[in-house]
Chains A and B, each alone.
Chain A
Amino acid sequence: MKLYSEEYKKKQRIAQKLDCYYKKEAQKNGLSNLDRIKAYLPNEYIFRAMRRGFAFAHLEIEPIIECIARKKPFTVVSGLNPSSPFHLGHKGLFDMLIDLQKLGADVQIPLTNDESYVDGKAASIEESKRIATQQILPDITAFGFNPEKTKVYIVTETPSIYRFAMSISRLVTYDMVKTVFGKKSLVNVGQIFYRGVVQLAQILLSQTSEFGGPKPTLIPVGIDQHPYVLLARDVAKKLGMIPPSELVVKFQPSLLDPEQKMSGSKPNIAIYLSDAEEIIQKKINRAYTGSVSSLEDHRKFGAVPEICPIFALLQYHHPDDTFIKKIRGDYKSGRITTSELKTITADFIVEMVKSMSQKTN
């Protein structure tokens, strides 16, 4: 029997804590895990996020699966707050949107610059619009979405969203908004209007007559966003629309803390698509790891890839399942060192970012 070091045991406890967190949250919110769905789905329908377990729970995803199998129209809506440049956390989500589009989805991406403004993340509406137009839109273009099946829009420049938001505003009371979002994120009336109805309008827009009427809609979200979907489902029912389905996705971890998500607001914890090669290498070299500090112990016990943000970079972005499986096994068993993992990951991420930058330009 191996006698694990305290450092290794601590890392394992973090992995268990994270696993428990997602399971508990899913159960608490009445979400189903994806095991049943995956058991039924033909392999060609199991997209990467589902296969690798980033997408881990759902609420009524069955109608979406029916649309995929029967080649019926459905929409995936995923907003992006353009308060910082595009980073790999965004990319993980956008890769999933591309996979869903290949399975037949119409994709809608509202760039919520109004949210950036009301939350004080942009100095002015003009500034938020500039970031969306100059920094985010070119990066989205690089993903290669099918233009005929994609609608990307800057919310402040889309008056129909506000008209629709106003028309549904009487269906949502202030008490409902307070319960769902909490008082802390409802400091000014802009936040109340945005969170209360503009966000719902974005989710339900694809079901308005302008877009062909009610149809199944899928909202990929983080577990903390589940209440928004519940509110949208409630309003959809009142409007005679189809309550949107929800796919819950695990966050891509911060480079410095596996329990935090990669966020664009703190440059050290995220890799931006605009980062230069040296910066990427530096960030990866400084990142938290799933291994212990002593090389001897690493060889003896192996690492905990589940909490390693460096391994997560490969897991979220590398296209080859067999490669991921091998690296995971080698790292977990201690066959490859953290330093080797960093080199492999940095080489891959640098190349990937370079190739995306070329497409953007």
Chain B
Amino acid sequence: MFPPMKLNRLLDENKMIQSYFPSKQGVINTLKKRHINILYGETHDLLGITVDSLKYYLFVSVLCEIGVGVESTVLIADTASTINTSSGDTKIILEEGKRRLGQISEIIKKYHLPIHAKLMSELFKEPPVQELIQRVQEIVTQSPEIQCLLKKTVLQNRIRQEDKTAYKYAAEAIATALLFDLKVGPPRERFYDEAALLIAKKMKRKSYDSIYLTPTYPLGLDFVYFLLHHEIEEFGLTPYKAGSNKLQDHRIVVGKTSFEKVNELIHTSFVPKQTGLPNPVEDMMNIVQLAGRFKKDISLKEGIV
């Protein structure tokens, strides 16, 4: 439950919130509930945790901090990360999931974040969850309308892959989200959430609400990049995958990217002359401000920004 004044301030003043699904009022109603379970789920590649993931950890922590009876979970979608990769990589990615859990736990500890992290593979061991996934998968397979929505959740170059796996990735993501009251994620997840709403209707159960944070944009690139990449301009990169669109050299990876590189990336980034255009530097500033809310036991030498 959120005290009304704090809730209004959170939703009206937070520069990180881009939009809501299905509506702002829907989100407010959910946040007024006595107990709220909040989800932020992320897949991963092998390149490490981005500062953009940190934005989500910090945001769901703020929700926990100002609400009462609020529980926030960062779900590391290790099994989901293996779905669209070659079989040889599966083991490595699952191992990386475990390593990532360790790293996130470390971040949680150092920043004193009131949230917990969990592996999807652990969650999926529970029989009711397995049943839910199976039911969602069946509905997705039978509904061209839902498949059409799910196509929009991925970049153009990944559509064939999704078709091949009968949208397993999306079905699992939706089933997982249906276990929660509220989901926080990037704007592209709107298409998952629209599909989830239809699926929940078919299952005669309530769907969750969503808050979308501002898109993640690559750093160290000029205006021409954004002009030439409409899709990135609209939805941004996948925040939690450093290698999204092979732009790992234009991301800040926690504990990996040197301070010199961070400095260079920020100074060579596109800063728009008007609002409404991608502003990677402003996004970075918002993350830093949000991090400032939490007392951190960390020295600069440790390399977390």
Q: Which B200-250 residues sit within 8 Å CB-CB of chain A?
A: 222-224, 226-228
Interface 9-residue window, one of A39-47, A108-116, A127-135, A294-302:
A39-47
B277 lies within 8 A of A39 (CB): yes
Contacts of B226 in A (CB 8 A): 40
Interface presence of B299 (CB below 8 A): no
| Chain B: minimal CB distance from A244 (Å) | 17
Contacts of B227 in A (CB 8 A): 36-37, 40, 62, 65-66
In the bound complex, CA of A65 to CA of B222 (Å): 12
Q: Which A56-72 residues sit within 8 Å CB-CB of chain B?
A: 62-63, 65-66, 69-70
Contacts of A42 in B (CB 8 A): 223, 273
A66 lies within 8 A of B228 (CB): yes
Q: Which of A39, A43, A63, A70 contacts B276 (CB 8 A)?
A: A39
Q: For residue B222, which residue of chain A has the nearest CB?
A: A69
- The total of chain A residues at the interface (CB under 8 A) is 13
Contacts of B222 in A (CB 8 A): 69
In the bound complex, CA of A41 to CA of B224 (Å): 9
Q: For residue A61, which residue of chain B has the nearest CB?
A: B227
Interface presence of B272 (CB below 8 A): yes
Contacts of B276 in A (CB 8 A): 39
In the bound complex, CA of A36 to CA of B277 (Å): 9
In the bound complex, CA of A36 to CA of B272 (Å): 12
Binary interface encoding of chain A residues 93-109 relative to chain B, with 1 for a CB under 8 A from any of its CBs, else 0:
00000000000000000
| Chain A: minimal CB distance from B226 (Å) | 7
Best-buried of A40, A41, A62, A66 by chain B (most CB within 10 Å): A40
| Chain B: minimal CB distance from A89 (Å) | 31
Contacts of B224 in A (CB 8 A): 65-66, 69-70
In the bound complex, CA of A63 to CA of B224 (Å): 9
In the bound complex, CA of A66 to CA of B273 (Å): 18
Contacts of B142 in A (CB 8 A): none
In the bound complex, CA of A70 to CA of B223 (Å): 11
Interface presence of B274 (CB below 8 A): yes
B272 lies within 8 A of A39 (CB): yes
In the bound complex, CA of A126 to CA of B102 (Å): 84
What's the dominant secondary structure at chain B's contact region? loop
| Chain B: minimal CB distance from A61 (Å) | 9
- The total of chain B residues at the interface (CB under 8 A) is 11
In the bound complex, CA of A65 to CA of B226 (Å): 12
Q: For residue B233, which residue of chain A has the nearest CB?
A: A36
Q: For residue A67, which residue of chain B has the nearest CB?
A: B224
Contacts of A37 in B (CB 8 A): 227
Q: For residue B276, which residue of chain A has the nearest CB?
A: A39
In the bound complex, CA of A205 to CA of B274 (Å): 39
Contacts of A65 in B (CB 8 A): 224, 227
Contacts of A39 in B (CB 8 A): 272-274, 276-277
| Chain B: minimal CB distance from A32 (Å) | 10
Q: For residue A69, which residue of chain B has the nearest CB?
A: B224
Binary interface encoding of chain B residues 276-304 relative to chain A, with 1 for a CB under 8 A from any of its CBs, else 0:
11000000000000000000000000000
In the bound complex, CA of A69 to CA of B228 (Å): 12
In the bound complex, CA of A254 to CA of B228 (Å): 37
In the bound complex, CA of A70 to CA of B273 (Å): 20
In the bound complex, CA of A34 to CA of B224 (Å): 15
In the bound complex, CA of A36 to CA of B223 (Å): 11
In the bound complex, CA of A37 to CA of B228 (Å): 10
A40 lies within 8 A of B277 (CB): yes
B272 lies within 8 A of A40 (CB): yes
In the bound complex, CA of A39 to CA of B228 (Å): 14
In the bound complex, CA of A43 to CA of B276 (Å): 17
Q: For residue A43, which residue of chain B has the nearest CB?
A: B273
Q: Which A15-66 residues sit within 8 Å CB-CB of chain B?
A: 36-37, 39-43, 62-63, 65-66
| Chain B: minimal CB distance from A237 (Å) | 19
| Chain A: minimal CB distance from B53 (Å) | 28
In the bound complex, CA of A319 to CA of B228 (Å): 31
Contacts of B228 in A (CB 8 A): 62-63, 66
Q: For residue A68, which residue of chain B has the nearest CB?
A: B224
In the bound complex, CA of A297 to CA of B274 (Å): 39
| Chain B: minimal CB distance from A169 (Å) | 34
Binary interface encoding of chain A residues 270-282 relative to chain B, with 1 for a CB under 8 A from any of its CBs, else 0:
0000000000000
| Chain A: minimal CB distance from B207 (Å) | 34
Best-buried of A39, A41, A43 by chain B (most CB within 10 Å): A39
In the bound complex, CA of A308 to CA of B188 (Å): 47
Contacts of A43 in B (CB 8 A): 273
Binary interface encoding of chain B residues 84-103 relative to chain A, with 1 for a CB under 8 A from any of its CBs, else 0:
00000000000000000000
Q: For residue A65, which residue of chain B has the nearest CB?
A: B227
Best-buried of B222, B223, B226, B227 by chain A (most CB within 10 Å): B227
Contacts of B274 in A (CB 8 A): 39
In the bound complex, CA of A63 to CA of B223 (Å): 13
A-B pairs, top 8 by smallest CB distance, nearest first, are A40-B223, A69-B224, A66-B224, A40-B227, A62-B227, A62-B228, A39-B274, A39-B277
Additional A-B contact list (20), CB under 8 Å, known A39-B277, A41-B223, A62-B228:
A36-B227, A37-B227, A39-B272, A39-B273, A39-B274, A39-B276, A40-B223, A40-B226, A40-B227, A40-B277, A42-B223, A42-B273, A62-B227, A65-B224, A65-B227, A66-B224, A66-B228, A69-B222, A69-B223, A69-B224
A selection of 22 A-B contacts at a CB cut-off of 8 Å is A36-B227, A37-B227, A39-B272, A39-B277, A40-B223, A40-B227, A40-B272, A40-B277, A41-B223, A42-B223, A42-B273, A43-B273, A62-B227, A63-B228, A65-B227, A66-B224, A66-B227, A66-B228, A69-B222, A69-B223, A69-B224, A70-B224
